[in-house]
Structure 1
Amino acid sequence: MKSFKPYRSQFKESQVTPEELFLNRRQFIQGAVAAGLITSPIAALADFNFAPNSNFRPDLKLTDPEHALNYNNFYELGTDKSDPPRYADSLKTDNWQVRVEGLCAKPQTFDMDDLLAFDQEERIYRFRCVEGWSMVVPWIGFPLSKLLDKVEPTSQAKYVEFISILDRENLPGQRFNILDWPYREGLRIDEAMHPLTLMTTGLYGKELQNQNGAPIRLIVPWKYGFKSAKSIVTIRLTDKQPVSSWEQAAPDEYGFYSNVNPNVSHPRWSQAKERPLGSFFKKKTLMFNGYAEDVADLYKGMDLKKYY
């Protein structure tokens, strides 16, 4: 596998939020909360031990956290964009464990202390929803490859399946057959081991909030957002291509790969442009969401219109 190249922004300098401005804004908000002047869901969370990774800090304008925290797709909590923050308390994350099993030499169950023991780093990633909206978020987490290395995948392991929480008693969305619960997603093993693929435990300098997939989720920044499974409880190494939840529900609309491709329209809308959260205007969508230089080789020789 080729080594990762630091991401080069395609944004103009005038569109960049200076890092010191963002950090000062965060400090101001925290200070105001401490003084009782404002209430912020970001500042109210526990501080996180993490280090910014300079290779993953492109000069991109960050999405305002109020948008990223309050405009969510998380069908376990409801289908409206406002349902996840409204019903966030329904997601119970105490004593969370993630089981890694299947075609590996050392299957293990990890609790959150184990997962947080991996070096946590902050990476600024683009995020593109299949619905046509996008955001830029400073995620915190660690490469999925580090977790998979712990269990030692066998040579037969060709795919990685991710299974999210099943809790029909508490999660209001799971009381309806919106999807075949629990939520499932999958990656090819080389996609899972890629340096960009992140197991995510936080965002905006704080622990991951429930509406964003707490306590641990996947982020695959060159794919549409639904590929990044939330609230993961099981990771399974397999020799068979998993059938993801949206692929099962609508195979003509949601393919297994679901790489961001402005040249391949969704059957019901174009993917050529996207609307950044907080902006009225749309902008052009980039191939592989702007990560083509780093991931295009994964799909060399593949018909990206056929394997969408």
Structure 2
Amino acid sequence: MLIRSSDSGRIHPVPSEITPREVFTGRRDLLRQVAAGAAGLTLASWAARDARAQMPRPGVLAALPATPSGLAGAQVIDKPTSYKDATTYNNFYEFGTDKSDPARLAHTLKTRPWSVEIDGLVKKPGRYGLEDLLKWSAMEERIYRLRCVEGWSMVIPWVGYSLSELIRRVEPQPSARYVEFYTQADRTTMPGLRSSIIDWPYVEGLRMDEAQHPLTLLAFGMYGEVLPNQNGAPLRLVVPWKYGFKSAKSLVRIRFVDKQPVSSWEKSAPQEYGFYSNVNPLVDHPRWSQANERRIGEDGLLAKRRKTLMFNGYEPQVGSLYAGMDLKKFF
């Protein structure tokens, strides 16, 4: 059932609340300085950028209260990434390929009203309103690592509930072996769709046992508030043991199928991106090593790289899902 709501209850930022463009041009200047070896100037520029940046912060968006999760693996001890960094350094190619593009351009995304179509091999298909989905389970705060395939990582306190709660309610048929996720693809609000980098809309998939694992999160918020547009509003997937691109943003369709889906990056570059995309430091990307990573927010661009953990550190919780599999073949 679709429940529509008035746009008057806006909970996502207007253009004036989005990070100014000059903040990000400063970031690009910073990259050029590092390339030139101007380390001292780089550090000074980084400090100046932080001092002048007027970034969004908790209190700008609507609160989304949650109870800290008691689930094993859902409260990592790593220091959380600052809200500023987590909302201004993003991959969301529907708004551009530069890390600064989503925060600069995603104010065009219209998140109300919003609904998600659930179909395929399921007993209770339908188009469900965001307001319905928000009520399907109690909200939890889960602090997860997020590891990007390019070699950077963050630690983010997400708000949502296990995807398994949604799966339980819609009752998949016994023949459903995979779950396929489709994201919003609106050319009027998403300028990145002009690019042919992938075949839009963005599609991702999980094996059913992966989708039903308690750590797989249907996220509606972060840092105690609703999701900012640039982070995948109004709801997204978070699969913490996989590379970040598996955690599809701005979901509009969830489909239950009997055959393994072909995900967008797998379709675009099968030699680089496999279906599973588990964080595995032993399997390098064809163009760079995955053995270590840089945590965003640690000493700027000169941060010491840290060793990448198997399954992003969630091996005790999820390793059994892949027992007996050749993880170099099924990458």
- Which TM-score band applies after superposition, normalised by the shorter structure? 0.7 to 0.9
Number of the residue aligned with 1:157: 176
Amino acid at match of 2:272: E
Listed one character per residue, the Cα deviations across residues 243-300 of structure 1 (whole Å, up to 9, x for unaligned) are 0000000000000000000011000000000000012111000000000011111111
1:297 aligned to which of 320, 328, 331 = 320
In structure 2, distance between residues paired with 1:171 and 1:40: 21
Number of the residue aligned with 1:9: none
Superposition map of 1:1-308 within 5 A: 40-55=56-71, 56-117=74-135, 118-279=137-298, 280-308=303-331
CA RMSD of aligned residues (A): 1.1
Listed one character per residue, the Cα deviations across residues 90-139 of structure 1 (whole Å, up to 9, x for unaligned) are 21111100111100111122111111112111000011000000010000
Number of the residue aligned with 1:35: none
Contact 2:106/2:190 (<8 A) preserved: no
Contact 2:55/2:84 (<8 A) preserved: no
In structure 2, distance between residues paired with 1:140 and 1:257: 24
Number of the residue aligned with 1:26: none
In structure 2, distance between residues paired with 1:105 and 1:116: 21
Percent of residue pairs identical: 59
Once superposed, which parts of structure 1, at least 4 consecutive aligned residues long, lie more than 2 Å away?
38-42
Amino acid at match of 1:127: L
In structure 1, distance between residues paired with 2:141 and 2:99: 26
TM-score (norm 1): 0.86
In structure 2, distance between residues paired with 1:58 and 1:254: 27
Secondary structure at the counterpart of residue 70 of structure 1: coil
Q: Post-superposition shift, 1:201?
A: 0.4
In structure 2, distance between residues paired with 1:39 and 1:139: 19
In structure 2, distance between residues paired with 1:141 and 1:298: 23
Contact 2:154/2:296 (<8 A) preserved: yes
Listed one character per residue, the Cα deviations across residues 4-23 of structure 1 (whole Å, up to 9, x for unaligned) are xxxxxxxxxxxxxxxxxxxx
In structure 2, distance between residues paired with 1:265 and 1:307: 13
Contiguous gaps of at least 5 residues in structure 2: 1-53
Contact 2:76/2:145 (<8 A) preserved: no
In structure 1, distance between residues paired with 2:109 and 2:194: 14
